[in-house]
Amino acid sequence: MNRDSTTISPWQENIPGFSPDSFAKEDFIYDVIIVGGGITGLTSALLLQKAGKKCLLIEAKNIGFGTTTGTTAHLNTMMDTSYDQIISDFGEESARMVHKITNQAIQLIETHVKEYNIECDFQYKKGYLYAEDDDQAKELDKIYEGSRKVGVDIGYSNEIPLPVPFTKAISFGEQAQFQPAKYIIGIANEFEKLGGIILHNCRVLNRIDGDKVTVETQKGNYKCIDLVYATHLPPGVNLLHFENTPYRSYVITAKLKDGNYPDALVYDMQDPYHYYRTYTEGNEKFLILGGEDHKTGHEENTDKFFRNLEAYLQKYYQVESIVHRWSSQYYEPADGLPYIGHTPGLTNHVYVATGFSGNGMTWGTASSLILFDLLTKGKSEYEPLFKPSRINVKASISEVVKENIDVVGHFVGDWLSVKKIPTLLDIATNDAKVVKYEGKIAAIYKDSQSQIHAVNPACTHLKCSVLWNSSEKSWDCPCHGSRFSFDGEVLVGPARKDLEAINLGVQ
């Protein structure tokens, strides 16, 4: 299964193939068109098709091309935004609702696994969160109190399943893990069996709102009553682009000499935090360690984050071998909760789900439950809490201002700081730079054969300058997270057009 990255996650390997042979009709009015074939789009599509809606799912590449196969597939009710924080910013009732919907999301995955016999290693696991100093211990107490208030099955623990020193720890039930690629292939198959249609390699180029919504794509123009963007950020420009910040996270898998793999999901409290789980392939176990998160397009030498993770792991474990190194992207919402529902500023028939922090598999599934209610009943008890047009003054204003100052800084500063190079010899083989050369500003990659690939660094979304990502060999936009291959092809939006090729007159 292809992914939006050069690095390979274990979920892409040893899986059943999936290639839809669907045909979509241009003279038909679909009830719902879903854009995006990750867990959010596919789960929404399955639920809606099952309820009798005629659905068309459009995917720019292949299902699972985005974050769904780049996640570490922790399924949580203990989210990145802790319950004490949600209570403080949204109130206790809202925090209870977050606990309820995240539990329902995990249960929905379990139901699908059982109902459709999806072999995706779904298992409930205990979770652990541990402090390494007094400040973290105080923070841990707050997290414990907030979680207990909303009903999480939680307690203090004298031990953690890692050989790492700690000062205080909590453990909690209700968490789970699975193999995300096998799971989405399972639900994609069920969606098709029910008559749902999936189009691969079909980028959406434009949308025309009217009596019906028309979606112009690479394969034709399709009409629907309701449209769902399950693509992280929707295309165009709206409030959501200023309220969600793209981040990259790094992951390694390792074979351990002592076989001491944790049978749990484990998290420390560093900033950014490390996260652990174990997965099994055949009869072999592997440890997954993730962390080293940073804003997308803010770091050029991304190989160092894998080295940092490896060094961290080797501090505590006898590592036999490192098996995978991969990175992936997520969006951090301004006020800590995702945006699910009607897309701000657009007709009421266009829906969106985004801002899942590091809990994409759970929030993606929870989104499908909320979107299902909105699209079939016209309302959801969760609508006010996750409404995408909300502005939570207390929780988000300072964050929105800070992030958008950063965006403006990139918009202006990155263009002003471009250095002139007299010769392309200034770029090493296998390296890339945004430079001024022969009077042109160009993003230049020199591949392993010393061949030059030059593109215009202006992101085709809103013209911020892209930055090289050395481990993924991609051009990443610091403003809203669009990513492009080394020769400028869109990997992920919100950009819809490739970076413009530049001819430097060299071979």
Q: Footprint of ligand FES on this chain (CB under 6 A)? A: 459, 461-462, 464, 477, 479-482, 494-495
The smaller minimum CB distance to ligand FES, of residues 4 and 89, is found at 4
Half-sphere exposure (CA, 13 Å, Cβ side) for 456?
12
Least distance CB 229 / ligand FES (angstroms): 15
How crowded is the C-beta side of 305, counted as CA atoms within 13 Å? Answer: 27
The residue among 112 and 480 lying less far from ligand FES, judged by its C-beta, is 480
Q: 36 vs 33, 126, 227, 245, CA distance in Å?
A: 10, 31, 11, 19
Residue 332 C-beta: closest distance to ligand FES, Å: 15
Q: Degrees (nearest 5) of the Cα angle 302, 306, 307?
A: 105
CB of 403 to ligand FES, least distance (A): 12
CB of 329 to ligand FES, least distance (A): 12
The single-letter code of the amino acid at 223 is K
Nearer to ligand FES, 197 or 495 (CB): 495
Q: Which is nearer to ligand FES, 70 or 494 (CB)?
A: 494
Question: Could you tell me if 329 and 321 are in contact, meaning their C-beta atoms sit under 8 angstroms apart?
Answer: no
Find out whether 484 and 474 touch, Cβ atoms under 8 Å: yes
**How do strand 213-217 and strand 220-229 relate by DSSP bridges?**
antiparallel
User: How far, in Å, CA of 428 to CA of 50, rounded?
Assistant: 54
Give the residue carrying structure tokens 């054969």: 449
- How distant, in Å, are the alpha carbons of 292, 347, 348 from that of 210? 45, 9, 11
Cβ nearer to ligand FES, comparing 212 with 298: 298
What is the enclosing helix (H) or strand (E) of 416?
Answer: helix 393-416
For ligand FES, which is the closer residue by CB, 106 or 477?
477
Nearest to ligand FES of 32, 240 (CB atom): 240
Q: Residue 83 in contact with residue 146, Cβ under 8 Å? A: yes
Half-sphere exposure at residue 33, Cβ-oriented, CA atoms within 13 angstroms: 27
Assigned token pair, 445: 């990659």
CB closer to ligand FES, 200 vs 241? 241
Find the shortest distance in angstroms from Cβ 252 to ligand FES: 28
Min dist CB 495 to ligand FES, Å, is: 6
CB of 465 to ligand FES, least distance (A): 9
Q: Kind and range of the H or E element at 403?
A: helix 393-416
How crowded is residue 377: how many other Cβ atoms within 10 Å of its Cβ?
9
Q: How far is the CB of 357 from ligand FES (least distance, A)?
A: 19
3-state secondary structure of 460: coil
Please, which residue, 368 or 482, has the CB nearer to ligand FES? 482
Nearest-approach distance from CB 59 to ligand FES, in angstroms:
20
Least distance (Å) between residue 134 CB and ligand FES: 41
φ and ψ of 251, to 5 deg: -140, 145
The DSSP bridge pattern shows strands 474-476 and 74-75 to be: unpaired
Concatenated DSSP letters for 339-372? EEEEPTTS-TTEEEEE--TT-HHHHHHHHHHHHH
Q: Which is nearer to ligand FES, 176 or 479 (CB)?
A: 479
Based on CB atoms, which residue is closest to ligand FES, 11 or 339? 339
**Which residue, 47 or 491, is less far from ligand FES as judged by CB?**
491
Identify whether the C-beta of residue 215 lies closer than 8 Å to the C-beta of residue 205. no
What's the distance, CA 340 to chain centroid? 15
Find the shortest distance in angstroms from Cβ 469 to ligand FES: 14
Q: How far is the CB of 296 from ligand FES (least distance, A)?
A: 9
Report the distance separating Cα 507 and Cα 501, nearest Å.
Answer: 14
Alpha-carbon distance 229 to 343, whole Å?
9
